[in-house]
Structure 1
């Protein structure tokens, strides 16, 4: 008999193992036996027209709110204080405490209001008020309120912030509350917690600019507020939240019933099994909200994106995303960390995210994200805005290795540029190096630029017509993504939980060797950000551990949104330095002029010409602004351009003579004696020369700035007009060898200065500048000018690539060599 029993047990266990073979290596969660009741509770008859319909069902399914019986929620009814506190205490996971307190409460008739030591309260809610008081939700003054009266919006904001442990915001850091037109109506003692609730996007004001602190709140409005708060506080109820895609649904017959297993892979790459079973002896399931409809697990479909909540070994509730699976075919146009852009045959553009769970194949053969190349044709399966599958299709090549222009592409961030004669060698961050003619046009920015204008740190796409060549046929400069905006710093206030944003206090922006205050509080998206603490990489979620620390942040433009892409958190006392540096790539450190050594790490933000550049770029420069922790590493380095102007010759003097093909400049009196002649720039200073003659051709740009506005002088008219020595005109000349590129006819200035700068932006003829440096002849060095941030180029000649251009032809990041009189430009040349 014993042997038979053992055999039976073995057979039974074998059947169980076979039935559960799908969970090998998986984490399994069973449903709960009260799921049907939960589903019925979610199925209200009076919420179809409510704006908060999904929130009401979601919060009911997660046991935060309840209806008033008969499958009615009464969404537009005003909410009493005691009702609001009951909901908040459930949100805090304190319902058991309420029930115990209620059982010990005495007096009162159910449904009737009475006076207690806690003010006016209905008898059913006496336990609620007791626990609310013990939990610290109610101030001493609030304990005597009439809790049968309607709750106000500011009371709700105050209680929720306390209930889910939001950090109160005090003093000058409180900004949102004062942005409302009725901010004077807030109770002063509630302000810090109301500010925290608004900052966390749990509550907000009306569209008319008012908050309505003393307005009542309806039951549907409260459901929406609780739903947003739950996203932050679900762990207080003992829930764990996870997400993933349903990959398979298995159906098994068991014990005269059916078991359904929902197989998914969560966003951490783990295999998960959610199990529901209905049989004569076992009945467990979980409530689901899908496309605005409540149900049990049976409404889940293959491919659904699922957010599910578990408690221990049980799955309690799941919700499908509104998005559906779709397939898009097109060309990979750009690719960044965590996302790429796909353009279909109709020219429609899609920005698609990818993650470690995205399956990549090439002609249906397994591949990886690293195998994706710019310009490849791909078929992408997308759920919402995230790729679940990417299949890249190879292009058939012709026998001679030729392809249609664009069928082969490469792209990435420039990490090195070398110029040799008329050739430019470009190395991308993927390790590929290509050679192009220096004068090859570059498209994508709207400005007339060539390959010689490209800079380290810029993102480019290269198009080829041959599969093997290292010489592209076309270059495109990416200008709407990863475009640098600024480097800022501030004190970390936290990270918001909704599409994470870093919150900063006392925000400052770097500008020409100085940190200028911009705002007392700001938030920036952390889309794809790399975060470092003293050089060690940490996760975005870990930022909250370092509140009060200083963060140095690279801001970039991601399709119109200022986004923090590199965050360097510093724990030590900050210092700064400006001057010469010597970089050692072996020790990853720089030596300052006073022999102090500062280490460099992956968290160091290195900026050159407004672009984020790799560490190796430090080996090519001699001066920089350095921000660093005392005794620690650099958090930010701004490379200062100290190179000499290249390719142009600058002269100023009186016009002595004009011939059929030349102009002679000289006859300029020097205070050092009676010597006559012109002056030319030598080592950035004006030095005396004899008279000099320059050839004038039909490409020479000549402008008369002796009047109120510039007047362009055609070549033939210049030769035939009044600009001769006897008429006492003077000019500034920009030349290449003895050939005049530009002549700016205007009075000479004894106060003109020579400066260098990086162009930040231009608006009309006003050029906004970064890293302005003036030449100091006494010290024989370039020095930062912290007061000049723009110049007016209305009466200036601007020379780029050996020809005169307009301000619109300049691009952000151009290195400018400037002869100026105060903030008025005279001659501006773009260095090559």
Structure 2
């Protein structure tokens, strides 16, 4: 008996070791190998939608015809509906529904279905039941039964179905804007428009360029590959509807074993969030794996692979193999900045690097076990990296010279409240970590260290957390600035009703997310972690997380920030009574009395009031008069108190944009003959009838001298295609016989730094023909880049209204930048240098961009 017990214990312990004690255990599915085989279509290898088609086939959402997919074939209404139902995980429900129809008294008709919602369905026999199911569940109306189901589907109808089934919240009335960027928006059915609007913002609908206009073509048909692309982009929404979760991690080990004489392959995953998982592949079970544009099974996977996997319950539905393999190396350097989830260091080559940390990252200090809290500025460290991720940190501390402070290493930590050009430099107002407000002065050329790059003072924004390096305690002139990591950067602003707090998680119901000037539905019920340094308030009074359960059912406003282990709540404000919203320009702020005036409303604020400005959480002292605000307030007696302030005015980059005409002031001799031209020199030129862009408005400046250098990018777009002009050719206009004489008097846009040093010039036309009278100022985030066609897809775009002197939601979601000059980080760049997620500041005329500044 003892021997039997010992054997059983060995078996149990071995099993726990194999499967990974404390790890989530996942399995594959029986249908995976069949789905992978089905996805190997012969006619999609060179198709632009190859990847979406393979992914959706492997997920059993799209199906082909044997070994062919026919990507360009027009999709019918019945085909589109069934694909949408599969994407939403409702195919099984639809099939079970059909069985109930067949089992009802009276049997089945020759078409296989009886007792339908309506007898008017004009569809192929195999599709009847799906249509009837959709009508019974309210996905379709009974009137939709008369749709010609075997005919080509309209684009707007398919978009409407996808939005409804993906749980995308419709957007109505004045909150709409994106669809109006289509020149044919009037052709969109008013019933479908509220659902098409969010799909345009998401990027599932992009439209196409026709001449100089962007069109949706709502009543046209669409091909199978076009619908595949739409569904692929909406997969995160369909995943949420189906309860599918995704995680990323690295395969740290693989092993093989036998269970009941059948082979089992185990893949041990260390997830990005620090948790662990095991994918268990038994005989006849597997998982589709996407590698680039190709799909196979888990036999592709190996140690060190960086993967993203999608699971429903205990089953892995799909794995994506990310770029990069098990590349282990060491990086040594000095710590510049450390937060709870990021480490910034200067390596031995002088490069600034930033790395993400995990709470499980091992740390040793001089060979002894330590923790992340032991990491400090100035320490010498050695990082072990695997696929660019920190796997261990070794710290070396020299204890031989205590007490010595090297000049330039005294540091002041704080947040930038304001930055203003002053003389030959800039004045900085800092809200220090001690709660003081201090002023500093920095030169134009001060070294600025930023995450992943070396920047300049013009890259520093209000709200940035910085370290100022001083030579002495009393100095007000830093010698260097380090912009801290994005720890604490705002990810989202949400509101919802408190359901409870437990195990570090806050449960909210009826959650809405603030997005581009409006609240959109986020989730019916969701959980959010709370960061260790979160600021939590109830009716203006500070509380701790454990107190939250005392305020169930109350409305809460939360700011999610980048944090250790992902985004967490960094600020929470709960208050009783009704919500009041004020959306006006900030007229004035009284710091002493703690009052702001928005429109004609005077609102008190206090230490619990938070300000969100350009993805940064700031104190109210960071507000500046003239900004557009959305203020959320509550009543305290007869007074409304500001609880949360959202700054809607974008922080324009510290570059100047001028428009005007190149000088054409002729110099004549005593006989009246032109011998040259004034205002154009080797290193500068005069811009006449000029305007400067300030706070979204053009202000007349008269004549302005702008300085030129060999790095100035000069583009002539008076003809198609445009062409680059050398500095020498441009300045040769001052000569009477110059072959550049046609440029004199032309209308141009100019981008310069704060000291009139010209970065880029865009020559766009004759003064009388163009003069920039129809240009529009837009800010947005880059959603996608189509370098081949010169197109930028935009999201969360806002335009400036000179009539109202404020920013409003824009309908622009795509611009053509073939005739634009593009500036990023103070340098002229091309489209390939722009990345999704970059913030863009645009001067455009309709869908044509002329100036794009990217941050």
Report the TM range for the smaller structure's normalisation: 0.5 to 0.7
The 2-side partners of 1:442 and 1:763 are apart by 9
2:296 is matched with 295
Q: Give the counterpart of 2:207 among 177, 200, 205.
A: 205
1:503 is matched with 515
Task: Report the alpha carbon displacement of residue 484 of structure 1 after superposing the two structures with TM.
Answer: 14
Note the 1:301-340 alignment, pairs <5 A.
301-324=302-325, 327=329, 329-334=332-337, 338-340=341-343
Q: Deviations over 1:335-387 (max 9, x none)?
A: 56644545545555545444545555556655444444345455556678x74
Structure 1 residue 373 corresponds to structure 2 residue 376? yes
2:264 is matched with 259
The 2-side partners of 1:442 and 1:317 are apart by 52
1:123 is matched with 125
The 1-side partners of 2:11 and 2:44 are apart by 46
2:138 is matched with 136
1:51 is matched with 48
The 1-side partners of 2:442 and 2:589 are apart by 37
The 2-side partners of 1:85 and 1:456 are apart by 49
1:196 is matched with 198
Deviates more, 1:44-53 or 1:101-110: 101-110
2:82 is matched with 86
The 1-side partners of 2:342 and 2:379 are apart by 15
Task: Report the alpha carbon displacement of residue 248 of structure 1 after superposing the two structures with TM.
Answer: 2.3
User: Contact conserved, 1:442 with 1:475, CA < 8 A, in 2?
Assistant: no
Note closer, same or farther for the CA distance 1:147–1:531 as it changes in structure 2 (3 Å cut). Answer: farther
Q: Secondary structure at the match of 1:220?
A: helix
The 1-side partners of 2:351 and 2:135 are apart by 57
2:687 is matched with none
User: Contact conserved, 1:132 with 1:138, CA < 8 A, in 2?
Assistant: yes
Note closer, same or farther for the CA distance 1:335–1:168 as it changes in structure 2 (3 Å cut). Answer: same
The 2-side partners of 1:86 and 1:55 are apart by 17
Q: Give the counterpart of 2:180 among 178, 181, 189.
A: 178
Structure 1 residue 475 corresponds to structure 2 residue 476? no
User: Contact conserved, 2:305 with 2:325, CA < 8 A, in 1?
Assistant: yes
User: Contact conserved, 1:402 with 1:465, CA < 8 A, in 2?
Assistant: no
User: Contact conserved, 2:356 with 2:389, CA < 8 A, in 1?
Assistant: yes
2:72 is matched with 76
User: Contact conserved, 1:442 with 1:476, CA < 8 A, in 2?
Assistant: no
User: Contact conserved, 1:460 with 1:476, CA < 8 A, in 2?
Assistant: no
Q: Deviations over 1:462-520 (max 9, x none)?
A: 55999xx999996323579889999x99999xxxxxxx98414369xxxxxxxxxxxxx
Structure 1 residue 147 corresponds to structure 2 residue 110? no
The 2-side partners of 1:397 and 1:241 are apart by 46
- Structure 1, gaps ≥5 residues long: 111-115, 417-425, 447-453, 493-499, 508-527, 557-563, 584-588, 591-595, 619-625, 639-707, 711-760, 766-788, 790-832
TM-score with structure 2 setting the length: 0.53
The 1-side partners of 2:290 and 2:56 are apart by 11
User: Contact conserved, 1:374 with 1:410, CA < 8 A, in 2?
Assistant: no
Note the 1:590-605 alignment, pairs <5 A.
600-601=606-607, 604-605=610-611
Task: Report the alpha carbon displacement of residue 45 of structure 1 after superposing the two structures with TM.
Answer: 3.1
User: Contact conserved, 1:575 with 1:630, CA < 8 A, in 2?
Assistant: no
Note the 1:33-48 alignment, pairs <5 A.
33-48=30-45
Note the 1:640-651 alignment, pairs <5 A.
none
Aligned residues: 557
Note closer, same or farther for the CA distance 1:122–1:319 as it changes in structure 2 (3 Å cut). Answer: same
Task: Report the alpha carbon displacement of residue 157 of structure 1 after superposing the two structures with TM.
Answer: 1.2
2:60 is matched with 63
Note closer, same or farther for the CA distance 1:463–1:600 as it changes in structure 2 (3 Å cut). Answer: closer
Note the aligned Cα RMSD (angstroms).
Answer: 5.9
Note closer, same or farther for the CA distance 1:764–1:481 as it changes in structure 2 (3 Å cut). Answer: farther
The 1-side partners of 2:24 and 2:338 are apart by 34
TM-score with structure 1 setting the length: 0.54
The 2-side partners of 1:172 and 1:339 are apart by 41
Structure 1 residue 29 corresponds to structure 2 residue 34? no
Note closer, same or farther for the CA distance 1:506–1:36 as it changes in structure 2 (3 Å cut). Answer: closer
User: Contact conserved, 2:469 with 2:481, CA < 8 A, in 1?
Assistant: no
Q: Secondary structure at the match of 1:20?
A: helix
Task: Report the alpha carbon displacement of residue 162 of structure 1 after superposing the two structures with TM.
Answer: 1.1
User: Contact conserved, 1:246 with 1:304, CA < 8 A, in 2?
Assistant: yes
User: Contact conserved, 2:248 with 2:306, CA < 8 A, in 1?
Assistant: yes
The 2-side partners of 1:430 and 1:129 are apart by 62
Task: Report the alpha carbon displacement of residue 84 of structure 1 after superposing the two structures with TM.
Answer: 1.1
Note the 1:143-542 alignment, pairs <5 A.
143-206=145-208, 209-278=214-283, 283-324=284-325, 327=329, 329-334=332-337, 338-346=341-349, 348-362=351-365, 366-380=369-383, 387-389=389-391, 391=393, 393-394=395-396, 412-413=413-414, 444=446, 459-461=465-467, 475-478=479-482, 502-505=514-517
Task: Report the alpha carbon displacement of residue 88 of structure 1 after superposing the two structures with TM.
Answer: 0.7
User: Contact conserved, 1:374 with 1:409, CA < 8 A, in 2?
Assistant: no
The 2-side partners of 1:375 and 1:299 are apart by 43
Task: Report the alpha carbon displacement of residue 44 of structure 1 after superposing the two structures with TM.
Answer: 3.0
User: Contact conserved, 2:249 with 2:306, CA < 8 A, in 1?
Assistant: yes
Note closer, same or farther for the CA distance 1:213–1:457 as it changes in structure 2 (3 Å cut). Answer: closer
User: Contact conserved, 1:306 with 1:320, CA < 8 A, in 2?
Assistant: yes
The 1-side partners of 2:38 and 2:233 are apart by 21
The 2-side partners of 1:314 and 1:575 are apart by 45
Note closer, same or farther for the CA distance 1:575–1:215 as it changes in structure 2 (3 Å cut). Answer: closer
Task: Report the alpha carbon displacement of residue 43 of structure 1 after superposing the two structures with TM.
Answer: 3.1
Task: Report the alpha carbon displacement of residue 185 of structure 1 after superposing the two structures with TM.
Answer: 1.5
1:98 is matched with 94
The 1-side partners of 2:220 and 2:484 are apart by 44
User: Contact conserved, 1:240 with 1:310, CA < 8 A, in 2?
Assistant: yes
The 1-side partners of 2:230 and 2:27 are apart by 30
2:655 is matched with none
1:713 is matched with none
The 2-side partners of 1:568 and 1:464 are apart by 37
User: Contact conserved, 1:62 with 1:316, CA < 8 A, in 2?
Assistant: yes
User: Contact conserved, 1:554 with 1:567, CA < 8 A, in 2?
Assistant: no
User: Contact conserved, 1:289 with 1:319, CA < 8 A, in 2?
Assistant: yes
Structure 1 residue 635 corresponds to structure 2 residue 639? no
Q: Secondary structure at the match of 2:79?
A: helix
Task: Report the alpha carbon displacement of residue 275 of structure 1 after superposing the two structures with TM.
Answer: 0.8
